[in-house]
Amino acid sequence: MTSAATESRRGQGTSTHLRARRADAPVDPPTRPRVVVEELSALFGKTRAVKDVSMELLDKRVTAIIGPSGCGKSTFLRSLNRMHETISGASVTGKVLLDGHDIYAPEMNPASVRKHVGMVFQRPTPFPTMSIRDNVAAGLRVGRLDPSRSSIDEIVEKALRRAALWDEVKHRLNTSAVGMSGGQQQRLCIARALATEPKVLLLDEPTASLDPISTQSVEELVWELRADIAVVIVTHNMQQAARVSDFTAFFLHGDMVEFSPTAEIFTNPRDPRTESYITVRFG
């Protein structure tokens, strides 16, 4: 069910700027699983917020996670880069393999895992006392001894360009990030996550607090990132999931009810619970 063989055909579904572009695009070459999740449960104390989830996240593909509030989407995401365990009393069982390596193995350094599996939150979280440049560079010292100033400058520029923010901030890199708009701050956080060249990027409702123009630019960015890495996006917006993702997982009460190619899940869901959620949400 989760293998490349079941990948969605492109260009199906709603007609939008992204869909329109995808409709003419050639069929993607096959790809490989970047992350393999095996029977993952995430707990707060004894309460399981995510229950026995198994799935594959493919390289160069976008996976959307949908489901009602409290169903475990953020908790699942946070279990994929060892953020979950930073909460007191929180724990996980099961496996998360990144390129075949168990990120929960004893020898794994959580900070190094987070460098490879970047995360962006619903609300932009720039470091308020840092400049724009330092915000982007904040994650670079993990695992590196001492990157030179010129190499940091290069990395910062590249990340800001990829996040479609460079032209707006290149003249004020040393000013505070606090003076930026919400959309700019969110793209700054995406640039910060991209600066460490992650293999996987986790986006938790990245456009929830953004206006339509900023939302569109983040969606375009997601689609561009797809050329290089695996992207996971949590969203309450079904149209957004349909526009940007190749696969969609539907969560309910901590269970993953369905995981299918996006075009299939929105046109022909297998589980009646998926259908009723999607119907209400699209309506």
Ligand X SMILES: Nc1ncnc2c1ncn2[C@@H]1O[C@H](COP(=O)(O)OP(=O)(O)OP(=O)(O)O)[C@@H](O)[C@H]1O
Q: Give the residues lining the site for ligand X (CB under 6 A).
A: 44, 49, 67, 69-75, 87
Give me the least distance between CB of 178 and ligand X, in Å please: 25
Q: What is the DSSP letter of 7?
A: P
CB-nearer residue toward ligand X: 87 or 178: 87
CB-nearer residue toward ligand X: 53 or 155: 53
Q: Which stretch binds Mg ion (CB under 5 A): 70-78, 81-89, 134-142, 222-230?
A: 70-78
User: Residue 174 corresponds to which tokens in the numbers above?
Assistant: 């040393």
Give me the least distance between CB of 234 and ligand X, in Å please: 7
Query: Would you say 254 and 72 are in contact if contact means Cβ atoms under 8 Å apart?
Result: yes
Give the DSSP letter string of 26-72.
Answer: PPPPP--EEEEEEEEEEEETTEEEEEEEEEEEETT-EEEEE--TTSS
Partner from Mg ion, ligand X, none binding residue 245, C-beta < 5-8 Å depending on class: none
Beta bridge partners of 250: 66, 258
Partner from ligand X, Mg ion, none binding residue 49, C-beta < 5-8 Å depending on class: ligand X
By CB under 5 A, residue 74 contacts Mg ion: yes
Query: Would you say 64 and 233 are in contact if contact means Cβ atoms under 8 Å apart?
Result: yes
The SS3 assignment for 124 reads: coil
What are the helix (H) ranges across the chain?
17-24, 73-79, 110-116, 132-137, 149-162, 166-169, 182-195, 212-225, 238-244, 262-267, 272-282
Give me the least distance between CB of 155 and ligand X, in Å please: 31
Give me the least distance between CB of 73 and ligand X, in Å please: 4
Measured from each CB, the residue nearest to Mg ion is: 74
Give me the least distance between CB of 265 and Mg ion, in Å please: 20
CB-nearer residue toward ligand X: 137 or 256: 256
